[in-house]
Structures are given as C-alpha cells and as structure tokens.
Structure 1
Amino acid sequence: MRVLMVSWEYPPVVIGGLGRHVHALATELAAAGHDVVVLTRHPAGSDATTHPTSDATDEGVRVLRVAEDPAHLEFTRDMVAWTLAMGHAMVRAALTRVGGWRPDVVHAHDWLVAHPAIALADVLGVPLVATIHATEAGRFNGWLSSRTSRQVHSTEWWLANRADTVVTCSAAMRAEVAELFDLDPEPIAVLHNGIEPRGWRVPRRRVAAARERYGPGGGPLLLYFGRLEYEKGVHDLVAALPRIRRAHPGTRLLVAGTGTATELLDDAVRAHRVRRSVDFLGHLPDADLAALLSAVDAVVLPSRYEPFGIVALEAAAAGAPLVASRAGGLGDIVVDGVSGVSFPPGDVPALARAVGSVLADPAAARRRARTARTRLGAEFDWTRIAAGTADVYARTEAGGPQELPRPKIPSGNVFGRR
C-alpha cells in the first residue's frame, strides 16, 4: 500500500515517544514492502533559510520535512497558531512536492497534525486513520481549565470523529478516547507500541562503570527516565524516597530526562530533604542510558497518567527490574508479581512498599525482569505491530469529508467520574 503518515515529530526531531513510534512503524512498513511517505517538520525555531523544505529517502522511507513559515511564531508562546502554521506548510508541501504519487491511506499521529491530515484525506479522497497517542484531558486528570486546553481537546475530538478508523496504543486508552470523544469503543483498534530488544544489551564492563560512577557507596540505585512532566509522577517518587531510605539506607535516586517539571522537582527534593540522595542527569545518550538501565536495582515509573509507557519496554529490554504505577498502558506491560511490581497511581506509601519489595528480594526481582524481557518478542514486536497496522489500513474505507460541530465541554471534570 501507499501510506502517507503525518507527524509533528520524526527523528532527529524527537520530543517524546511519539517520534520513536512513528519512525519504527514507518521503517517496519517500508521493510514489509509498503510505499511510505512521512510528512513532518524541521526543528522549531528554524526557517526556510536555515532549514529549507527537504525531500529525502532514509531507511526505505521517503521523508518530506517542511520549513517553518516566515511568521514569528513560537510553540511555547503561540501553540495553537504555531500548530496551524505547521499544518498549512504541510498541506502546501504535500500538494506541491509529491508529484504524481497518491496515497491509499493517510495516517495522522495526534492532534497537532489534525488539520493537514484531514485536509489531505478530504482532497485526495482516501481513508483517514488516526492514532491518538494521548489526550489533553488525560494529562490534566479530566480538567480542561485553560483556554488552550479546551482548544486542544476540541481538536482531538474533531480528529477522532472525522477519522475513518481510530487507533490507540492500549486498552486503557481505547476506553479513555471513547469516553472523551463520544465514540463507540468497539471499532477502535488497539495496537501496542513496540521495541527492538537487541540494542539494549551492553558489555558488563560498561555496566560496572555506570554502577561505580553513580553508586560508588554501594547502596541501592533507583532510576526514573523519561520526560519530566507533572503527569509522570516523579514528585511522588521523590516523596517516597525518605520511606525507602529508612528501610534501605544509602538508596539513591537517579532522574534522567528533561521537561517542564524541573522546578517542581527541585522544590520536592528540598521539601523532603533528599537533595543529596537525588541526581538529576538530564538527557542521556542511548548508549549511556542502556548501561545505566543494566546497572540499577530498579527502574521506577510512577506515572499518574500514561497512555502506554514505551520507557517500560526499554527498561524490560535492558533487563532492569520494573516498579510501575498501574496508570493507563503501564498496566498492559507491567503485570504485578509477574513482569514487575505495580501500585496505584499517586499512592506514595504504596510506591514506597513496591520499591521496598524489589530491594528486599533481588532474586525475585531478577526473575520478574527475565519474564518482562521474554514478553517483548511475543507481544511488543514491531513486525507484528506493523502487520496489524497494515490490516487496519486495508479494511478502512473512506468516509469522505464531514462538517462537524464543536464538542460541548463540561464546566467540570470531563471524565465525570473523577
């Protein structure tokens, strides 16, 4: 099939897990013989002089990467306007630069590309598949208090209702999307994120070097890695650290990643008096991260909201014992007592007990880690996921252009049950 994927991130422009997802899916589909074009963008803040629109083939995928428009727009300050401008640039590039190539399907990844994906599907008369990777309401626990949040939510609703097929990455996300966007959950396809396990194994000497560097005192090492955002719950892990250290003296917490919650976490380590027991490592190259994952006693993922949790797959691929909340898709990956230890999101005492159980019985933790790694090939293999995606493409029929009303947004919590 000829597939046009539309995504606001694609390597080397990677903001979170979405960029890695689209890259893995696109390259796997191309390897299976499909003709894949990815419509994406250059880094934010660039322009047509520094980063002109480019059209190149990489790993079997044709990547059409658009330049930003001349208007002085910034994503952090003018998010909706910036997103609209990006969409306009994508539409112009797709209609003027792909020549006689015509897709059999348009695949949109998240609300930021709703406008160009819908426009192109309408103009070309082809089916529109939309993967909803996360929701604005989910990130804010059902509250859409700001004007921007309401705008994002309504755009998500538009994309989900215009799409001929909606895809989510977990059963929990399917239920969330159905509830938020007034959809029947039955037709929503669930296709997990995947991982290639081989790249996460590193030589023992590098693991030993990482252990010596970050835990020279010999005490237990805990690691969180990923984006530093409120919904990731890292502040809950910091709050649990004093309890953990009382039971397991010398325990240190390593935090790898960047994000908007840096100030929140700085305040948390001071409030809980654990500043000397927490190291903020910033962004780590993949090779360094892989060595650290193999060196720590546990990877802790305390998310309050998590549509899927690809970092859990990466930790499992490296063989690290997992402690994770049961938020969203993490519950699909970390089966309590089987492939890791889980706890209710936001429950600090339960988090501390879960970490303590791993540190108290390293042999059991290693057995669970082996089980988690074994599951990767059976349930989270990109070849299977790409084949499932191709099946979705094949059975999706074009519904044609639609004019939809604005969704009604409750003044209270949009979930109604929280």
Structure 2
Amino acid sequence: MAKKRLAVISLNPSPPAPVATRSTLKAIQQAFPDFEIEVIYVTDLMKRARLRMVTAAAVAGVSYMPDLLRRRKVLKYAFFRTPFVYRWIGHLLRREIDPDRYDFTIQIQSLFDASVPGVPNFIYTDHVHLENLNFDGFDESDLYSEGWRACEREIYHNATTVFTWSSNVTRSLVEDYGMDPGRVECIHTGSNSAIPEAQPLTPERYARKEILFVGHDWERKGGPVLLQAFRKLEDRHPDASLTVIGRVPETEDLTGVDYLGRVPLETLPAHYARASVFCMPTRLEPFGNVFVEAMWQQLPVVATRVGALPDIVEDGVNGYLVPPGDADSLAERLSTLFDDPDRCASMGAASRERAETHYDWPIVIGRMRQRIEAELAAGQPAGAQAAQ
C-alpha cells in the first residue's frame, strides 16, 4: 500500500519567516508520522520568475503608492496583497499540487490560496485582515485594497476547514467574511520554545517583584505605557524591577530599568524563569506567542484586552487584562500582584494549567488531525469554489 502524502504550503521558510512557522511545521510532522510530508515554499516558486517578481513589486508600488510614501504601509508586506500576486501564486500552486499525488494540503498563513480542485485544503492562521478594525487606532483607511480583500475572502471560502489560533479570529471569519461557523474551528497554537519542567511554586520567586517585558516593536507592544506604570509603582513598591528584552528607541529614558536589548532565543527561558510577572501591554497584537511562553514558565500575565489575549489570560485567574494605553490600571494590577506573592504563585500555577490544556502542540495538532480525518472520511468536496 502506497504511503499517504500531504503537502504543507508556507510563504517562506523560517528564517526569515517567524519562528512560529518552524514550530508549526515540526508539530505537523510529528502529528502525521504515517504520511509522507512535502513542504512547498511559495517564495521559492516565485523566485523562478525574476522578471515577474519585479512586475509584482511595481504593481504593489502603484497600488499602494500614497500609503507607501506616507510610510503607512511597507512594500515587503504590500507586495503580497494585490490581486496580481494572488492570481500568480494560485497559478503556481495549481501547477505544483497534483491531485493524484496528495491526499490533502495544509497551508500556513492566509496570504495565498492553496486550494486545488480535487484536493482538500486546510488553512491554519493566526490572523485575518478585517480583524484589525477591532484594534484602537486602526480604521478602514488603513486596510489594504478592496481587490485584495475580495481575494482574501475567497481564500477562506475555498478551504475545506479554516483552523484558527484564537476565538477572535474565528468570530471575524464568521461575522466579517461570511464563513459558515461549521467550517471554522479554533484549535489554538503551541509554544515556540521547548516546554520547561514545572517548578515548585515558591512565594519567594514572586516576592522578588521582577517584571519581564519581551517585545521588539516597543511602541506597538506597549513599552511606553509599561514604563509609565513602572514609574507609578516607585512609591508603593520601590524594590520592584523591570527587565526589558527587545528593541527600544534611544530617546527612551530607561533609568532604573534592566535593558538587555536583543538576546539569543535559547536564553529566553532563563529570563522567564527569573521573573515574577510577565507584562506586555500591547495595543495591537494578532496573537503574541511570548504570552504562551510566559504561561508555560508559571508566570502570572498582565496584558491588554485586545486580539487573542482574552483567550490567553482569564482575568483574575492567571493574570489581569487592562484597557490598552491605561498606565494607571496597569500600575494598579501590578501593585495588586506585588502586594500578595501567594496570589502571584496561584496565578502562575493557573497559567501553567491553561498552557497545558490549550497551548500544547500535541493537543493542538491532535485537534487538527481529528478534524481533518473526519472531513476526509465524510468525503468533503475540495476546492469546489476554486473549480468554478
């Protein structure tokens, strides 16, 4: 009997793609050991036609010229968000994916349509474009073109099932894209770091009052707001400390802050393990895997009520959620934790428990496999709309 075969389609290998791409691919490979898995990178196919790459860049430049000139958009992201590139990638994948060769396909990300008539296609995505409208400071003028948005809608409707990382994305697919709720399933995601051994919960760790922030986009991740909140803690908790990992503008006053800049990924677990609280008051976040990593490290999490974070943080159980941009509320919640190391420890334990039940790769991809097997057994028609 011939071995079963599936194709996983991703935009880029990692790096330069986010480390989550590599983690997802590894989890899929472990969850489907009875399948021969072939990985197709879209950009590798595109680079075979250099002249068309130049044309695609020109199309994006013309399509988004005003926003590019005002620096409201970046060309490397706009490049993939035109109908021209959408159709080109679709053509390349239809040539690459032979219905007689593959049992089904899984595409990571939703910047392209990997659906091919006769091959069930499953999407696994952390974000959808229209969900951005639910973030403060983002309005319709910030969206990509109407033509691209129509292409994105088609991507989801051509899929057999769309798997999401979080319930807000699931809701947006149903409400904003008109998806049948039965064709969308939130399965969450796993950690990008190795799972640490659970440590004894000692109040001493949480009594150290060490706040950890990990984020490279200082403004968007809420760094200035955290800094304001930290200054507000000086009277009640003068012994509190703040460690910042990432990139911070040189103009920022970091007096009294342990600023480490960028650190190797393999050293991050040690920083989580030393911390008492994880805090990143982001104002716009598609997901934020650092929150999951902090939960696995038994840390209470203080975050903002945006995007996927209400899935990750159950307010008052494994941390607190505050409005974005609210330094007073942030300082109050941090102070509440520092006032009570036992509460900190209890929330840290709840974080670990939530990570084990929601954000563990074997569980996440196990849900994906179970759904895929059910769809294949039911003979779900694939690419029906793509064939029209």
Distance of aligned partners of 1:192 and 1:203 in 2 relative to their CA distance in 1, 3 Å threshold: closer
Distance of aligned partners of 1:127 and 1:229 in 2 relative to their CA distance in 1, 3 Å threshold: farther
What is the Cα deviation at residue 173 of structure 1? Answer: 2.0
Residue number among 224, 234, 237 corresponding to 2:223 in the alignment: 234
Amino acid at match of 2:381: A
Contact 2:286 2:308 in 1 (8 A): yes
Superposition RMSD in Å? 3.7
Contact 1:197 1:376 in 2 (8 A): no
Residue number among 18, 28, 31 corresponding to 1:29 in the alignment: 31
Amino acid at match of 2:75: R
User: Partners of 2:85 and 2:112 in 1: how far apart?
Assistant: 11
- Identify the residue that residue 323 of structure 1 maps to in structure 2: 302
- Identify the residue that residue 342 of structure 2 maps to in structure 1: 363
- Identify the residue that residue 66 of structure 2 maps to in structure 1: none
Residue number among 99, 102, 123 corresponding to 1:130 in the alignment: 123
Question: Where do residues 115-194 of structure 1 align in structure 2 (5 Å cutoff)?
Answer: 117-118=114-115, 121-122=116-117, 125-139=118-132, 141=135, 143-146=139-142, 148=144, 150=146, 153-194=149-190
What is the Cα deviation at residue 186 of structure 1? Answer: 4.2
What is the Cα deviation at residue 191 of structure 1? Answer: 0.5
Find out whether 1:398 has 2:381 as its counterpart. Answer: yes
- Identify the residue that residue 47 of structure 1 maps to in structure 2: none
Contact 2:126 2:165 in 1 (8 A): yes
What SS does structure 2 have at the residue aligned with 1:112?
A: coil
Cα distance per residue 1:51-94 (max 9 Å; x no partner): xx5xxxxxxxxxxx874642455994254435666985796488
User: Partners of 1:68 and 1:380 in 2: how far apart?
Assistant: 38
Cα distance per residue 1:343-376 (max 9 Å; x no partner): 2344332211111112222232122212321333
User: Partners of 1:100 and 1:392 in 2: how far apart?
Assistant: 21
Cα distance per residue 1:28-69 (max 9 Å; x no partner): 2234x2332222267xxxxxxxxxx5xxxxxxxxxxx87464
User: Partners of 2:146 and 2:259 in 1: how far apart?
Assistant: 33
User: Partners of 2:235 and 2:339 in 1: how far apart?
Assistant: 13
- Identify the residue that residue 77 of structure 1 maps to in structure 2: 75
User: Partners of 1:151 and 1:15 in 2: how far apart?
Assistant: 27
What SS does structure 2 have at the residue aligned with 1:194?
A: coil
What is the Cα deviation at residue 148 of structure 1? Answer: 3.2
Amino acid at match of 1:4: A
User: Partners of 2:89 and 2:286 in 1: how far apart?
Assistant: 29
Provide structure 2 residue ranges, at least 5 long, that are not aligned to the other structure.
61-73
User: Partners of 1:305 and 1:298 in 2: how far apart?
Assistant: 21
What is the Cα deviation at residue 290 of structure 1? Answer: 0.8
What is the Cα deviation at residue 130 of structure 1? Answer: 1.9
Amino acid at match of 1:378: T
What is the Cα deviation at residue 105 of structure 1? Answer: 1.6
- Identify the residue that residue 65 of structure 2 maps to in structure 1: none
Cα distance per residue 1:200-221 (max 9 Å; x no partner): 45999xxxxxx9xxxxxx9843
Contact 1:325 1:343 in 2 (8 A): yes
What SS does structure 1 have at the residue aligned with 2:316?
A: coil
Contact 1:254 1:278 in 2 (8 A): yes
Distance of aligned partners of 1:161 and 1:248 in 2 relative to their CA distance in 1, 3 Å threshold: same
Determine what percentage of the aligned residue pairs are the same residue. 23
Find out whether 1:8 has 2:4 as its counterpart. Answer: no
What SS does structure 2 have at the residue aligned with 1:253?
A: strand
Distance of aligned partners of 1:86 and 1:37 in 2 relative to their CA distance in 1, 3 Å threshold: farther
Question: Where do residues 258-337 of structure 1 align in structure 2 (5 Å cutoff)?
Answer: 269=252, 274-337=253-316
Contact 2:160 2:183 in 1 (8 A): no
What SS does structure 2 have at the residue aligned with 1:181?
A: coil
User: Partners of 2:328 and 2:280 in 1: how far apart?
Assistant: 15
Q: How many residues of Structure 1 are paired with residues of Structure 2 in the alignment?
A: 352
Contact 1:7 1:40 in 2 (8 A): yes
Provide structure 1 residue ranges, at least 5 long, that are not aligned to the other structure.
43-52, 54-64, 205-210, 212-217, 406-418
Cα distance per residue 1:311-338 (max 9 Å; x no partner): 2221122233322223232222222332
Distance of aligned partners of 1:144 and 1:279 in 2 relative to their CA distance in 1, 3 Å threshold: farther
